[in-house]
Every structure is written in structure tokens, then in C-alpha cells.
Structure 1
Amino acid sequence: MLEHFGDAPRTPAEGVGDAGAPWPHPELPHGHDLRWRELTLADNDALVALLGRIEEHDNPPYRTTAEESAETFVQVGADVGTARTIAVDADGVPRAYAIVRVRPTAGTCRALCDGGVDPQWRRRGIGTTLLQWQLAAARSILDDAGYASALAVVHVEDDMTDFQDMLRLAGFVPTRFYTEMRRDLSLPLPEVEAKGKISVEPWDAALEDAVRRAHNDAFAGQWGAELHTPETWMQGRTYFAPSWSFVALDRTSDRARVAGYLISGRYEGDWAAQGWTEGYTELLGVREEWRGMRVATALLVTAMRAYAADGMQYAGLGVDSPEPGGDFGLFGNLGYEPTRHSLMFTRAV
């Protein structure tokens, strides 16, 4: 089965849009009493309806909105190429879809795979068909772009064991482990200030590019890190919450420097499925020069106070590691507790 899978939780959905993008080889999937065609922005409503049936059945702690789905059709210059397909039955009802986006990252190239099958059409081999098509499409995109290889990447919830078995049979192995965490905002928050002349200040749109450069600096050399351009940095902002986002500025000199930053999202469409309201920390970074100065702690506590002031029950975030379990460090010390887990499977393509 290829029930429902995608990028890591909360990763902004980015892809090459319809305009001017040639449809890559290989051919579309076929069979299973379905009609296969290219997936385009014109199919967004149908795709959201299919995602709704998938998510209602699988009951993940999120729900995909039309706005989030539409983001996957936005052209992003960082992508080498993209392929998309959707399958409809004899009545024109969408029953399966798949997307693969090939993107360079630090040290490698990744083929990001996303897709799903209607619950009523599972266990018919459609998932395997989609996965094999994604691998072939990724290989074709790489050949056209002159890249020797890439890592195919699939994210899956930890309770989807049948899907994990299918991935293993296709040569995938688990390489990263993700944990979603929450912190009860009814509990007292510590009084924390960053050391030195560092102040945590409200989000300022005038600092967007300075924060982008700080992000590239903070994550340089980390696994899977992408160097954001001004274009890619602004992608995936549909649910960006500026009133819950903050910048840590070092004012030692006349010209303030960005020491760290915290970007939050407000995903109201997920709250009913989760069973609680939350402010979600999407990005948190501290540049190396300012590490060990309580900058991250001050940013997190400031954001949690903002979430609580707006009536949120919890603060949420996600962490990843190369091994399952383990110590959650700063987040555990601040009272964050795990709520669910997922895995990232990869294989060479």
C-alpha cells in the first residue's frame, strides 16, 4: 500500500509549478482500472477531497487544507524537476496520486516522494505501482539534469507498518526518526533571558533577509540542509504567525546582528484532529557564535508566552535524530513531551 506519505512533518510544501515545466519521462502509471494523467493545479480541489478521505481514515494529527495543497504547485527555482500524477476511476473520482520533487541539498540530491491511495482502493498493488513510478520518474529527472544519483526520501508514520514493509522490500531503509512534541502551557514558564546584550524582539519583516542568512549560517553542514535563496525562504508561509515569531538580536555594537530566530505557524485546521490547540514552532536556529548563551531557551519561552496569551493550550514542535528515542535535551528540560513519531526512509536512485 501507499496509503499516505509525504515530507517530514511541517516541511513547507514546495515544487515546480505548471507554467513551462515539461512533463518528464517515464510514462505515467497504468492499470488497476484507473485512468492516469498528470496532476495539475486545476486538480487541487479533487486532490484535497482525496486527501480528506485518506486523512479521515488514517486519522493523523493534521488535516491538509486547500491552501496547503496549492502550495505544492508553486514553482521553486531550487528544484531540479518535478513529476506528478493522479488516478481517477470510471466515475471521475480521484483514487490515488503521487508527486516526486528532485532537489539539491548540501552534499547530495534528494527525490522527495509524496502520495496516497483512497482507503477503498487499497491492497490492490496501487501503492507499489506509485512507488516504482516515483523512482523511475526521479531517475529520469536526474538523467535530464545531469545528476549521477540522489536519495529517494519517503516519510511515514510509525504505526503504518504495512507501508514500512513495502518500503523495505523496495530497498528503502529508515535513516531519520522524527518526534512531535508538545508543552502544556497551563504549567508555569521559567524566567529566562539570553546572556550578554542579546534581546528577543518581535518579528520584523524588515529583517527577513537577515534572518534568512542567519538560518543558512546556523544550519550549514547539517544533514539535509538547504541554502535558502530569497525566493525559497518565503515559500510555505500560508500559516506563518508573525505575532508568534521572534528574533534574537545582539546589540553589542551600533549595528544589531541576528543571533537567533524562531518562526511559528498557526495550523487551526489541525486542532480538531489533534484534540488541542497549539502554537507550533516551525524553525528555531541559533548561530554558532551565540550558542551556549541561552538564546534558544529565551526564544522558546518568549514564543510560549505568546501562544499562551492567545489562549493556546500547548506549544508544539518537531525534532529529528539519526536514532530512535533518546534524550530531548533542551526541549525535555522545558517540559516538552512526545506525542507521536514518524520515520524517514531513503534509498539511492
Structure 2
Amino acid sequence: MPRAYVPLPARRPYACRVHQLSPIADRAAAPATLPQITAGDLAWRPATLDDVPRVTALNNTIAEADGAPYRETEDETREELGAAWRDLEHDSLLGFDADGDLRVTAFVAWFPGDTTTVRTFAFGGVHPERRGEGIGREVLAWQLARARQILAASGKQLPARIGTYAEDDDPASKHRLYLHAGLEPRRYFSDLKRPLTGDAPAIPQVELTGSLRLVPFSPELDDAIRLAHNDAFRDHWGSQPQTMEQWTNGRSEFAPEWSYAVVDDAPDVAALLADEATDASTRAALDAGAPLVVAYALNSRFEADFAVRGYTFGYTGILGTRRAYRGRKAALAALAASMRAFADAGMEAAVLDVDTENPSGAHGLYASLGYTKEHGSTMYSIEL
């Protein structure tokens, strides 16, 4: 699946209105039964982990046909489909033709850590040779119906979202399909590239002040980085807290040797505990004397994408700064160290994705560092 399917940054637009919401079961309006898919005369069944090779192959066939800037590995697919909270029996469908070849995938994902907005996401696709038969329309109807069932069953009296993504270069028919189904363009993302070779600008040297210290990623800091991430993205639209199970899922391409954190060796614990904006999990960590990570850059090496893009690169998947530490260049220090690690490993570029309406002004920061847009994508959603 495109990496854009990983849900990205978010504000808390509805927190003050939760008490005004009708019950989630009413808003979701879940059907008692799911619609049948009759178009294309295909045989349907749920996916299993044994289907990982064929799902990966179909995803890559679709990506190649649509000119997508990525390819998928079987390890990535296995992590996505094998997450502990996934229910493939009820949340997936595979469509096979008369010869037994996979021609369609349909998945609906949800996330256990959601606390301010309960979310579902639809993803999948139709083989390019089977487009134009009405299959995609019926598959999307099934996905939306299943998403409504999941939301209703969650019992969470929160704002709710059914979302999906489309690359800007995807066929116009895909965008029209989403619009026709009632999904609205809600958020726009830019895929940015920053050259590291030739006449590329020098990677900035960032001096940290006070008791802030840049350190390489280590497993011992992993949970502290997760807590920093949950704090950093509390005011970003679409973001929800991640459990440790979610946080560590999907790391087949993770490059710990390219990843960094900034820790505060002498945090003002009293001030942080007195600040009502400090979340409960961070309070617990401070009380326990755990390391306080204040910024981080976690990076990956997507080798399957190198030939597609035409250059080698390091990918910054997650970058952030605790809200209390913004303005101290901590994330910039982690990003600069990441770029230097990419360059030292012989990578030709640094790549990342950003929400174009990111409230921390990240888009401007990346532009100042030499990042420019290469691709884009749109998140479509139904807000309930």
C-alpha cells in the first residue's frame, strides 16, 4: 500500500463538541449486512497472511500502471496485514478471476489507540486490466459499509472518520469515484526531495543549547520517543496517540542507524508537571525519572523504490518536537543528523512527506533546507 496510507498529522477540531454528538451507532448508520459485489464475475473471500505474495504483486502492478513513486515489499505487506489488531476475516476481501488470479483487493483498517477521533481507512485496488467494469464502485461501497460497522461497534462516543488516499497522478476516475461515493478532499500531502550530492546546499550544522543532547536511536529510547511523538502531534489534524503495539508495527524498512533523538538531560520537571498541557503518560515518565526525549527523526530505507524514483534516498517517516520545546531547533538537529547519515551511506537524496497545512510550519522549514515537491496525494474522508 502507498506509504500515504499510513494516517498522518492532525489537529483536535472537535474536542469541545464531543458532548454534542449523537451516539456513534446513530452517526455511523451501519448496515446490518454488507452489499454484495457482483461486477466482474469474480470469486470473493477474505485475505489471509498466505496471500501476502499475491497481494504485494497486485499492489505493485497497480502502482506501476498508475506511475506511483513507490513499490511494496512482501515484508511491508505482511506487517500491514498481520498487525495484531487486524481482523482480516471481516475487514478484507480478495477477488479472483476464473483462472484463480488475484484481480482485486479491498481492506478496511482501524487503530486501537484512537482517543479523540475514531478512524477507519479503506485501501486496495483493481487490476488495470479489469478496470471499467464497475468493480471499483461496488468494492468501495462494501468498504464504506464495513467501515460504518466498525465505527458503530467501537462504542466510542467521539467524532468519527472514514478515510482513504489517492495520489495526484492516479487516474482521474479514482478521484471521481471517491467524490461520487460522498468522500470529500480533506487534506493534501506533499512528497519532498532534498538532493545530497553534486551542488546540493551544505547540510546545516545545528548547535543545541542548554541541557539538550543529540543521541542515536536506541531500543531503550523507543518508548520515550513514542511519548514525545504523541505529545508533538496532539495539535496536528488527523493524528491520534499511538500505543506501543502500533508504534513498533511496520518497521521492516526502518533504519535505526540513520535515526536520532534529542534528549533533555536536565528537564525542568516541576514546570512540566505543573503545565496542564503535559499529558498523563509523560507525567508518569517524568515521575519515574525516565529519559525525556524532546525531538526525534525516525528514518527508513525503501530500497524497492530506488529504481522507481531513479535515485537512492533516505526517507524521514516521523519527525517532531514536543510542544514545550518548539523553537529550540531540536527537530532540526535530528533532521540534519539524519541527512548527514544518508549522505555518509552514499544516498543521493533525502525524502519525506508533509501535511501542507501542518500547524508547526514544517513546510516552510523544509523549503528553507532545500526540499522541493516531487509528488502529492490527497486524503478523502467522510466525517461523522
TM above 0.5: yes
Q: Give the equivalent residue in structure 1 for 2:164.
A: 154
AA of the residue aligned to 2:305:
D
Answer whether contact 2:254 2:301 (CA < 8 A) is retained: yes
Q: Which has the higher strand share?
A: 1
Among the aligned pairs, what percent are the same residue? 37
Q: Give the equivalent residue in structure 2 for 1:118.
A: 127
**Does structure 1 residue 291 correspond to structure 2 residue 326?**
yes
Q: 1:315 is matched with which residue: 342, 346, 350?
A: 350
1:9–1:152 distance in 2 versus 1, CA, 3 Å: closer
Give the alignment's Cα RMSD to 1 decimal. 2.6
- Structure 2 unpaired stretches of 5+: 9-31, 268-288
SS class of match (1:72): helix
Report Cα offsets for 1:211-255 as digits up to 9, x if no partner: 111111211242222212221111111111011000101123697
Report Cα offsets for 1:73-107 as digits up to 9, x if no partner: 22344999961000000000111110012336342
AA of the residue aligned to 2:369:
L
Q: Could you tell me how far apart the structure 1 residues matched to 2:266 and 2:244 are?
A: 27
**Does structure 1 residue 215 correspond to structure 2 residue 223?**
no
Per-residue deviation at 1:194? 2.0
SS class of match (1:237): coil
Q: Could you tell me how far apart the structure 1 residues matched to 2:41 and 2:345 are?
A: 50
Q: Could you tell me how far apart the structure 2 residues matched to 1:195 and 1:48 are?
A: 46
SS class of match (2:263): strand
Answer whether contact 2:191 2:354 (CA < 8 A) is retained: yes
SS class of match (2:81): coil
Q: Give the equivalent residue in structure 2 for 1:19.
A: none
Alignment of 1:37-76 (within 5 A): 37-76=45-84
When structure 1 is superposed on structure 2, of 221-230 and 329-338 the one drifting more is: 221-230
1:190–1:146 distance in 2 versus 1, CA, 3 Å: closer
1:191–1:156 distance in 2 versus 1, CA, 3 Å: same
Answer whether contact 2:46 2:90 (CA < 8 A) is retained: no
When structure 1 is superposed on structure 2, of 311-320 and 209-218 the one drifting more is: 209-218
Alignment of 1:80-159 (within 5 A): 83-103=91-111, 105-147=114-156, 150-159=160-169
- Structure 1 unpaired stretches of 5+: 13-23
Query: How many residue pairs are counted as aligned between the two chains?
Result: 332
Answer whether contact 2:42 2:97 (CA < 8 A) is retained: yes
1:169–1:159 distance in 2 versus 1, CA, 3 Å: same
Per-residue deviation at 1:175? 0.7
Alignment of 1:217-256 (within 5 A): 217-252=231-266, 256=291
**Does structure 1 residue 178 correspond to structure 2 residue 189?**
yes
Q: What TM-score do the two structures reach when normalised by structure 2?
A: 0.80
SS class of match (1:302): helix
SS class of match (2:111): strand
Q: Could you tell me how far apart the structure 2 residues matched to 1:183 and 1:28 are?
A: 47
Q: Could you tell me how far apart the structure 2 residues matched to 1:270 and 1:332 are?
A: 23
Q: Could you tell me how far apart the structure 1 residues matched to 2:336 and 2:145 are?
A: 46
Per-residue deviation at 1:7? 6.3
Q: Give the equivalent residue in structure 2 for 1:35.
A: 43
Q: What TM-score do the two structures reach when normalised by structure 1?
A: 0.88
Report Cα offsets for 1:269-289 as digits up to 9, x if no partner: 111001111000011111122
Answer whether contact 2:58 2:102 (CA < 8 A) is retained: yes
AA of the residue aligned to 1:158:
D
Q: Give the equivalent residue in structure 2 for 1:275.
A: 310
Q: Could you tell me how far apart the structure 2 residues matched to 1:208 and 1:237 are?
A: 13
Report Cα offsets for 1:299-323 as digits up to 9, x if no partner: 1111100000000000110001349
Answer whether contact 1:81 1:141 (CA < 8 A) is retained: no
Answer whether contact 2:313 2:350 (CA < 8 A) is retained: yes
Per-residue deviation at 1:172? 1.2
